[in-house]
Structure 1
Amino acid sequence: MKKWLMMMLAAVLMVGILAGCGARSQQSTSKEGGEAGGGASDEKIIIKFSHVVAENTPKGQAAEMFKQLAEEYTNGKVEIQVFPNSQLYKDEDVLAAVQQNNVQLAAPSTSVVTKLYPQWTLFDLPFIFKDEAGVQAAMESPEIGGKLFTMLEEQNLLGLAMWDNGFKQTHSNKKIVAPADFKGQKLRVMSSKVLEAQFKSVGANPTPMAFGEVYSALEQGVIDGGENTISNVYSQKMHEVQKYITMSNHGYLGYAVITNSDFWNGLPEDVRTQLQKALDETTAWVRDNSKRVNDEQLAEIKASGKTEIIELSEEERQAWVDAMTVIYSEFEGEIGKDLIDAAKALW
């Protein structure tokens, strides 16, 4: 009897010890996403950042830089978990994930945002911006950037920054110099009515396709080519299965860094301030770095000898401009003539 009583007491004592350990473990567990603003000051805030490209692209490098700066500036209060290469979500799914706070940060291409707001299709128009400086001026203006970012708030989204990837080039297994060379070519585009219209205007067959599927489609001959920045071509090894790249600079590719409004506004003010500081520094770095990365990787593609690089003369490029910009009037009602005119005025 005495032995049995001692065993019972030992069991009760062990349960108490385990319960205490469990409580302490629960108190020290990091909190994710939307719970971040309401917890104790020593609880780590976990922010999931989802994107679809490789880590060696301008966006991939920017995500890693932001992670390092954010964790440093918040003294470890925040942990940024970066998920590249569509590990969590494809571009077409990520905005819904941000709205539901399943991820707290995303940087989808502007074409993705057009599913919510067709006015964002402005960025898909061919030859609408002269260069990266023109894009930056547009995003910093209240007539363009201010208007477009304000729209997002209706969907519990908050636009934090615009990250550059540079201008798109045309790649294919068939040589493209003149607009007539597009005829019948099957070219991958992001899901965008403007991008489809752009290639239809020169007789090509645009094919919407997820970014992660492009390499295999090129390799298997399902499509002839597409449009991408050099860094996207290089990082996905598309140049290994494409005979030609035409340096057309016909369209801009940028990413809107977007968060969940409730999550962001619910962060402790000191944390939010430091995250914004990290984001601002990263954005400034991206503007210089994207051109450097594209230039360096173009040199790598040339050195590989696997793809012929075609440089257009001013006359040849103007022929592209004349053929493709006819679609502007088709989208004035959807985008807004005021936005198109404001962008054209920056030339």
Structure 2
Amino acid sequence: MVRGLLVVLSLLLLGLQGCAPKAVDFEQTSPKEKIVLTFSHVVSDASPKGRAARLWADLVYQRSGGRVEIKIYPNGTLYKDGEELEALKKGYVQIIAPATSKLTSLDSRWGVFDLPFFFNDLEQVHQLADGPVGELLRKSMREKGIEVLAYWDNGFKILTADRPLENLKDFQGLKIRIMDSPILKKQFLKLGAIPVPLSFNEVFEALENKKVNGGENTPSNLYSKKFYQLQSYVTISNHGYLGYAVLMNRDYFNSLDQETRKILLDTLKEVTAWQRKIALEQNAADLARIRNDQNIKIHDLTPEEKEAWQAVLKPLAYEIIPLFPKNLQSEILKIGNLN
């Protein structure tokens, strides 16, 4: 009986082992084949960047049959604003999408996107990013182990403060939060303010505790993070552009098979076109919501006020343009609003 039971158990065990591979359903892909990429960013899921990241992840998952998964970590939950670039370089995370301003720490020429009153509209920004200038900046990152996959928009920045900002004298002594960029620092120094570099994750607390008196950001960021609720005055200046570079660790990117790279890049191209469209729409909608807040006093720059600001700030372009090769300097001058 014992021998008979052992034989039966052995047969059952063999039968179960033979069935095991058929029973495993790993989203139609074996665990060994599955590719998981980590995408860390510091803004809300509800922001244009956050929405585009989710869409990219969803489409890549569908188009790869579940073989490629992009895991999204928003709001600085994985790496904070000042940490993610280093994490990418070390390979701790595969994808990030920092503001282009953050890349000035690696190459000061990225400051071309920070120039105040340089772009009339987003079409001019796209012309710069998608043309020879953007390609040069891509190459500059490859030398540093980073692949630039796409350029995403947020939009044009407006100002919030605890006092009205209309004339140049209104900036005197005002502590303004900025991203750590040389051009942004010089921008506010020229206006007579005190620039205070802070990471995005520190902004709410700094405004709440009056460590800074104001800041610059897009309506979508001001609304999704509720920064505007901590300030009494908003000036619709549209003085500077805020955009992002979608980055991947270059060694990791090159280690991916050709089919995976094609799915990622082809899908990202579609998502980028969509992202740029919804960024424009969302900023307009969020600005309307901010305007409807009865506790906020809104000021739209008059043509005369704007002209006075431009006279002070436009010359900053000539600190960046000479850093580019001669053939690209003329390209930048053609695009930029320097009249």
Q: In the TM superposition, what is the alpha-carbon distance from 1:100 to its structure 2 partner?
A: 2.0
Choose the corresponding residue for 1:100, options 90, 93, 101. Answer: 90
Q: Measure, in 2, the Cα distance between the counterparts of 1:266 and 1:174.
A: 52
Q: Check the 8 A contact 1:51/1:89 in 2, yes or no.
A: yes
Alignment of 1:318 onto 2:270: no
Confirm or deny that 1:266 pairs with 2:255: yes
Pairing 1:120-131 to 2, within 5 Å after superposition = 120-131=110-121
C-alpha displacement of 1:28? 9.1
Query: Where does residue 48 of structure 2 map in the other structure?
Result: 58
Q: Contact 1:190/1:208 (CA < 8 Å) preserved in 2?
A: yes
Q: Which amino acid aligns with 2:94?
A: Q
Deviation, structure 1 residue 304? 2.3
1:145 is matched with which residue: 134, 143, 153?
134
Specify whether residues 242 and 342 from structure 1 end up closer, same or farther in structure 2 by C-alpha distance, changes over 3 A only: same
**C-alpha separation between the residues in 2 aligned to 1:214 and 1:343?**
32
- Where do 5+ consecutive residues of structure 2 fail to align? none
Q: CA deviation at 1:341?
A: 4.5
Q: Residue 91 of structure 1: CA displacement?
A: 2.9
The two structures have a TM-score, normalised by structure 1, of: 0.86
The structure 2 residue matched to 1:214, chosen from 181, 203, 225, is 203
Alignment of 1:1-347 (within 5 A): 43-142=33-132, 144-332=133-321, 334=323, 341-347=330-336
Of the structure 1 ranges 169-178 and 268-277, higher mean CA displacement relative to structure 2 is found in 268-277
Q: Can you list the C-alpha shifts for 1:63-85, whole angstroms capped at 9, x where unaligned?
A: 11111111111111111100011
Long gaps (5+) in structure 1? 4-8, 31-38
Q: Distance in 1 between matches of 2:55 and 2:145?
A: 26
**RMSD between aligned residues:** 2.9
Q: Tell me, what secondary structure is at the counterpart of 1:258?
A: strand
CA distance in 1, matches of 2:201, 2:330: 34
CA distance 1:244–1:338, change in 2 (3 Å) = farther
CA distance in 2, matches of 1:263, 1:145: 22
Q: Which moved more, 1:107-116 or 1:89-98?
A: 89-98
Q: Is residue 321–residue 332 contact of structure 2 (8 Å, CA) maintained in 1?
A: no
Equivalent residue, structure 2, for 1:33: none
- Write the distance in 2 (CA, Å) between the matches of 1:254 and 1:340: 21
Q: 1:165–1:229: 8 Å Cα contact kept in structure 2?
A: yes
The one-letter code of the counterpart of 1:289 is I
Which moved further from structure 2: 271-280 or 228-237? 271-280
Normalising by structure 2, what TM-score? 0.88
User: How much does 1:340 deviate?
Assistant: 5.5
Question: Is the CA contact 1:122–1:335 (under 8 Å) kept in the aligned structure 2?
Answer: no
Q: Which residue identity does 1:236 align to in structure 2?
A: K
Distance of aligned partners of 1:112 and 1:344 in 2 relative to their CA distance in 1, 3 Å threshold: same
Count of matched residue pairs: 329
Q: Which amino acid aligns with 1:240?
A: Q
